Structure 1
Amino acid sequence: MEPKKRFIEIVQQLRTLIREEQIKEGDKLPSERVLSERLQVGRSAVREALRSLELLGLIETKHGGGTFLSTSPQHKLIEVLATFIMNDKKSITDVHATRLLHEQEAIRVICRNEKMRQLPVWESLFIRLEVKENVVRKDVLREIMIACDNRLALRIWLQLEAYSGKPMYGFITVQEKPYVLTLVKALQLGLEQEALQAHLAWVHHNTEKGDKEHGDS
């Protein structure tokens, strides 16, 4: 099963379990072992889903104390977003558009902030791409979201990315590499318009490629 479907399926099962068990904010969740048995999935799959939910702020892990349903004020907003994404199968276009808006705004923030532009991650990404190392698409975009230093935006983006599925998990191809190299270099130099245009060109390239692959299938 592809990552998107597995993630959504397990999260839906967890949501059902939380509702049926009447687990409230601040209450402890069952252990990984128990969840694995209850949901009839492997512990690694449960662990992956819990890690994603923690990044989204829906649960909190206390060292040596277990996992708890989050009491964060952000919990409600992310829960609404998660419900929309997981229950409305016609929302995929809106998901992509909303993810794009978050990425574009993060690029603007980075280009206007000297400290963010000088982060070593950009040079590291540039070198990895130049030496033809395999780089996953979502990793580049995630670094952009992390660098803009907005935790709520990052959590929302992670939920959107999880639903975007297979294309985000693929490696950057030779054809799309020029767009990404331009994007990374523009971020370093603070060239806002160039960075935004490179990002859009990269997104459009992948969208067109995905449409062609879908049409051939």
Structure 2
Amino acid sequence: MEEKPAKKRFIQIVKQLHDLIAEQNIQEGQKLPSERVLSEQLQVGRSSVREALRSLELLGLIETRHGGGTYLASMKQHQFVEIVGSFILQDEQSIADVHATRQMHEKEAIRIICQSPVFCALPIWKSFFVKLELGESLKREDILRECIVISGNRLSLKIWLQLLAFSDKLLATDITAEEKREVKTLLASMQMGYSQEALDAYENWMVIIK
């Protein structure tokens, strides 16, 4: 079956959850359809459904119980995602605001990392750097997601993941040869705790990939 862009997959699954809640009167704590059922309803592969559900779980919309399936979480959090999704769907020009807001979270995460000797010393930065040196595949979102996660702000992570869903075409791509210099400077600066240098490299990187 033909796969749809990641942005559309994510939005469709959010809409499907909304429909299930409204039509079947699913309450908080009740079980949602399986990956197989969602895959059939949305006409996308199960791996795509699984990826989208993982994002929804990180947002706090659903919860997975080991061996027991997926369950609806807080309706208040569901409303947050629906509002943001509707905003994007109704006003395509606002995508620039999405990128700007996402970048605010990314820059703050970089600042936090540079201010922490523990975060700076994490081996993940060297691992990313080596991958770039060896010419291995590395997606833009992999580095940015790691920055947000390591910064330790769970609310920022939830917001960033939602914004990422509307930035998939920009960030789900491998880092190009043109970007490598700035990305390696970013990684090296974070390892040394050089906040301004890291932020400058990040800004230059964002200019390249616009």
TM-score by length of 2: 0.89
Partner of 1:210: none
Q: Conserved in 2, the CA contact under 8 Å of 1:57 and 1:72?
A: no
Residue 12 of structure 2, aligned match among 9, 14, 25: 9
Partner of 1:111: 114
Tell me the alpha carbon deviations over residues 8-48 of structure 1, each in whole angstroms, 9 at most, x when there is no partner.
Answer: 22322332222222223222212223333444444333222
Q: Determine the C-alpha separation between the residues in 1 that align with 2:80 and 2:120.
A: 30
Partner of 2:157: 154
Letter in 2 for 1:69: L
Tell me the alpha carbon deviations over residues 85-111 of structure 1, each in whole angstroms, 9 at most, x when there is no partner.
Answer: 445433201100100100010011111
Work out whether 1:125 is the aligned partner of 2:128. Answer: yes
- 1:61, distance to aligned residue in structure 2 (A): 0.4
Q: Determine the C-alpha separation between the residues in 2 that align with 1:78 and 1:113.
A: 31
State the identity %.
56
Q: Conserved in 2, the CA contact under 8 Å of 1:74 and 1:152?
A: no
Q: How many residues align?
A: 207
Tell me the alpha carbon deviations over residues 59-88 of structure 1, each in whole angstroms, 9 at most, x when there is no partner.
Answer: 000112211111397555455434434454
Q: Which moved more, 1:113-122 or 1:23-32?
A: 23-32
Residue 58 of structure 2, aligned match among 55, 80, 86: 55
Runs of 4+ in 1 over 6 A off after TM superposition: none
What SS class does the counterpart of residue 133 from structure 1 fall into?
coil
- Any residues of structure 2 matched to 1:60-139 within 5 Å, and which? 60-71=63-74, 77-139=80-142
- 1:117, distance to aligned residue in structure 2 (A): 0.7
Q: Which runs of 5+ in 2 are unaligned?
A: none
Q: Which runs of 5+ in 1 are unaligned?
A: 208-217
Work out whether 1:198 is the aligned partner of 2:193. Answer: no
Q: Determine the C-alpha separation between the residues in 2 that align with 1:79 and 1:105.
A: 25
TM-score by length of 1: 0.86
Over the aligned positions, Cα root-mean-square deviation in angstroms equals 2.0
CA 1:193–1:69 in structure 2 vs 1: closer, same or farther (change >3 Å)?
same
What SS class does the counterpart of residue 60 from structure 1 fall into?
strand
Q: Conserved in 1, the CA contact under 8 Å of 2:125 and 2:187?
A: yes
